[in-house]
């Protein structure tokens, strides 16, 4: 018997910055794969044609049973990271474990882009084989999170902490949806929650693009994103990013010790990295990450 979650519906080559990861293996390429399905039912999902497979209004999908050895061989040859994204990789833990087992002799790393809705047992099973996870932190409280996703928020916070206990590199992403997740008080709550775990966790603030069931919503304004960055920094967070709307400065990494710009990026690519063994070349301060 084969399951849909042990298949590959999408396989792309792209930069690790696109996941997004800004403090994990900058400039490296990824082979990104996806099986159908998600544990959330987000009304704004850009990948809904694939992620919402199995729900009453879902669409058909096409794909093939995963050829684990072939994916790993390609990643080893290209010195690429294997990333599971676009849908929810927590539904494909068996595939992740198979990829990790085959990858181990080659030193190929596995990364996830996940909603973080994981049980302790799931984390304990998969965390030992994951190098990095970018988790979507979608709302500030259980009520708002449930309205947006169909699921509570509390397990996501728990998974973030538990994955870090295993040594998995964590970055977080939050979409700023006007009228839903852009309230300054809610953003301050999220920023404080992240800071309580670690002020060095990179936080990506994402511009909302109307899609799926939320096509009548307005996109996020640059001013709202700039305000969110200020809120995050006021909470003590050291690494806060906006992918597009604030230009190059919104994507740059600056040393929290002296302010020197140490990593610059295009929208989906690395443009410069002057770190020396993960340290600022100007003041020797360590910049958190897996460089």
Q: Report CA Rg, the chain.
A: 18
Annotated binding residue 45: yes
> What residue has token string 């990333």?
83
User: Residue 266: CB partners within 8 Å, gap ≥ 6?
Assistant: 248, 251
Q: Which of 228, 220, 278, 232 is nearest to 26 (CA)?
A: 278
For residue 261, the cross-strand partners are 254
CA 191 to chain centre: 16
Can you state the angle between helices 154-165 and 184-197, rounded to 10 degrees? 30
Task: Give SS3 for 205.
Answer: strand
**Is 258 assigned to a binding site?**
no
Say whether 42 counts as a known binding-site residue.
yes
Binding-site residues, please? 38, 42, 45
Binding-site residues for [4Fe-4S] cluster, please? 38, 42, 45
């Amino acid at each position: 018997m084969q399951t849909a979650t042990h298949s590959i519906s999408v396989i792309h080559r792209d930069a690790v910055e696109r996941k997004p990861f800004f403090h994990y293996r900058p400039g490296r390429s990824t082979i990104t794969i996806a099986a159908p399905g998600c544990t959330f039912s987000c009304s704004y999902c850009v990948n809904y044609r694939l992620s919402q497979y199995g729900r009453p209004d879902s669409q058909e999908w096409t794909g093939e049973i995963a050829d684990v050895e072939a994916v790993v061989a390609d990643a080893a040859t290209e010195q690429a990271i294997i990333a599971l994204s676009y849908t929810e990789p927590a539904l494909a833990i068996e595939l992740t474990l198979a990829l990790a087992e085959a990858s181990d002799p080659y030193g190929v790393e596995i990364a996830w882009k996940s909603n973080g809705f994981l049980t302790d047992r799931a984390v304990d099973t998969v965390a030992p084989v994951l190098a990095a996870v970018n988790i979507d932190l979608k709302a500030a409280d259980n009520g708002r999170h449930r309205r947006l996703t169909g699921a509570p928020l509390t397990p996501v916070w728990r998974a973030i902490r538990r994955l870090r206990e295993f040594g998995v590199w964590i970055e977080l992403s939050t979409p700023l949806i006007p009228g839903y997740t852009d309230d300054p008080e809610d953003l301050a709550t999220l920023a404080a929650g992240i800071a309580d775990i670690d002020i060095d966790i990179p936080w990506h603030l994402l511009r909302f693009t109307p899609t799926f069931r939320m096509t009548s919503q307005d996109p996020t304004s640059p001013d709202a994103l700039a305000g969110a960055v200020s809120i995050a920094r006021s909470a003590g967070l050291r690494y806060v990013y906006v992918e597009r709307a604030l230009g190059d400065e919104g994507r740059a990494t600056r040393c929290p010790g002296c302010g020197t710009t140490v990593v610059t990026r295009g929208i989906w690519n690395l443009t410069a990295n002057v770190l020396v063994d993960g340290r600022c070349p100007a003041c020797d301060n360590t910049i958190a990450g897996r460089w």
